[in-house]
A and B are shown apart, each in its own frame.
Chain A
Amino acid sequence: MKRVALAVALAALATVPLWVPGTFYVNIASQILLYAIFALGINVLAGYAGLVSLGHAGLFGIAAYTGAKILTGGSGHLTGVAAALAVTVLAAAVFAVLALRGTGLGFVMITVALGQIVWGVAYRWISLTNGDNGISVTTRPSPLGLSLAAPRSFYWATCGVFLLALLSMAVFVRSPFGAAVRGTRDQPRRMNALGYHVWMIRFVAFLFSGLWTGVAGLLYLYYNQFVSPQAVALTASAEALLMVISGGTGTLLGPVVGAGLVVLIKNVASAYIERWNFVLGATFVVIVVFMPEGLVPGLARLARRAGARWRPPAVAVPAPPGGAGR
């Protein structure tokens, strides 16, 4: 049953460009998947490690800007991607060393500050980042000779990277290290007494989170072929975190569903309603009120309840003799 569902979902995902109406929606699907990767990266910290970061747009932006700088400097895509990811993971290490001095609110505030520093650099250090005007990248890569210039091929490439991200999360969550990360979320003091290096576990989780955030940042750069301070702003961090929270923190599919929700409302609702931000806000309020645990766990709970109501009794009750005649 589970395998059938998985196969159907994979088939649906792989054939999106063949059944959605028009390029506009193919591009939306690409956006959903790239933001889903971003949200999956944040979920490693916010969901499994219990560390809420509001500075991840900084890492997302560092990847995009580094990629853009290297590509506009004349280097190839392979160099650009490898260097951008290396720089992002390094930046994540610096973020982690500073932010992991605290947990809870302290951690949130330090990540906000770090994210704002990156935003400040993007906005003000004009000789490096071109300030408000941003940086344009003229080409998309052609891995194995396949050009990603068209929306369809770009979607398929993004989809492949997304599936890789999802797979890495599934493996991580079920692994001993994943159990250790969740242990440091639930009971850090006990974990330390049991012999775990709580700080190091959180640090490694931060790097893992930073790596996928960097991948998402690069996809963003290639998707838009442009990056500006808007990508690094605090609102971008908050939006990505809301994707995780609305979909369900600490679940595999929650961040994906959350990314779909936010990207759809932003792009589709904004075509009909000028104040689409209102729609987004109202949606979050409804989710928080009715499914505080997020859409995925919330819907699972409703499905279970409905299932319990409609399932026939486990033991068939024999009809009393003669009872049917009445």
Chain B
Amino acid sequence: MSALAVRGLDKSFGGLRVTSSVSLAVEPGERRLIIGPNGAGKTTLFNLITGELRPDRGAITLFGDDITRVPGRRRAHLGMARTYQIITLFPRDTLLRNVTLSLLGLARLRWNPLVRLDGQTALIGRARDVLARVGLGHLAERPLAQTSYGERRRVEIAMALAQDPRVLLLDEPFAGLSLEERRDVLALVTGIPREVTIVMIEHDMDVALDFAERITVLHFGEVVVEGTRAEVVAHPRTREIYLGE
């Protein structure tokens, strides 16, 4: 059974077909890379998988369960977490509060209007652990607005990891990072245990190539090539589309 499977997914915005009969199956524990030039429909595919957009046709299954009609917020409860290419965090809050909000999203406690959130030591302790795991433990009390871009990228990943997902979708986690920061984030992502299935979008092939076992190439909303790293790199279509040859 695939961890995440997508069959015949279509999505159009007006006359523009951004996702065109996309099918792919990601096995449990797999590291999958989705590449493609700008406008290939990579982020749209993520938005369809996470339920932020509704597909026109097609089906999405998570560990065999059809989730095509399940609202996005429920998919988080079913073990799906994502990061955003454009950083989507809570700028007024501290890093600790950001991660706490992520943990709270899956807890029944989120509806409680009577207790103090600051008094939930178990929850906050877990948030601290997650921050330490991404190497930001020392910045827990700092407001997000006072952190660097590279640190925010890691908070994005911490938000997703905090939810203990079964399937993790990373949308360009290296975007806008310096070479050094990229190495740190790559080490962080590589260190995620195999219980978590990871699908990563990356615009820049060089960074992420080592990370993935299988690679899917998207172009104008269609899957053009799919295969192992060696197969995809050697494929003439990849070279044509992606390497501009």
Contacts and interface: CB of A to CB of B under 8 A. Distances in A.
A, B bound: yes
Interface of A: 171-172, 174-180, 183, 186-187, 189-198, 208
24 contacts: A171-B114, A176-B112, A176-B120, A177-B111, A177-B113, A179-B101, A180-B101, A186-B93, A189-B52, A190-B90, A191-B105, A192-B72, A193-B52, A193-B72, A193-B73, A193-B82, A194-B101, A194-B102, A194-B105, A194-B106, A194-B163, A195-B77, A195-B105, A208-B113
A183 B74 CA distance: 17
Given A171-B114, A176-B115, A176-B117, A193 B89 contact: no
Interface of B: 50, 52, 72-74, 76-77, 81-82, 84, 88-93, 97, 100-102, 104-107, 109-118, 120, 159, 163
A198 B73 CA distance: 9
Residue of B77, B82, B100, B102 most packed against chain A (CB within 10 A): B102
Given A186-B91, A194-B163, A175 B106 contact: no
Contact of A190 (B84, B104, B113, B118): B84
Given A195-B76, A195-B106, 14 more contacts: A174-B116, A175-B116, A177-B112, A187-B88, A192-B52, A193-B50, A193-B76, A194-B76, A194-B106, A194-B159, A195-B77, A196-B73, A196-B110, A197-B73
A114 B102 CA distance: 35
B173 to A, nearest CB: 15
A190 B50 CA distance: 11
A172 B113 contact: yes
B46 to A, nearest CB: 10
Nearest to B102: A194
B184 to A, nearest CB: 23
Query: Closest 8 interchain pairs by CB?
Result: A194-B105, A195-B76, A195-B105, A177-B113, A190-B88, A175-B113, A176-B117, A174-B116
B113 A179 contact: no
Contacts of A189: 52, 88
Contacts of A179: 97, 100-101, 104, 117
Given A176-B110, A179-B101, A190-B89, A195 B73 contact: yes
Max chain A CB contacts within 10 Å: which of B72, B92, B101? B101
Nearest to A197: B73
A183 B92 CA distance: 10
Nearest to B97: A179
A205 B224 CA distance: 47
Contacts of B115: 175-176
A183 B98 CA distance: 9
A192 B73 contact: yes
Contact of B109 (A176, A183, A191): A176
Contacts of A171: 113-114
B101 A183 contact: yes
A183 B84 CA distance: 16
A52 B74 CA distance: 28
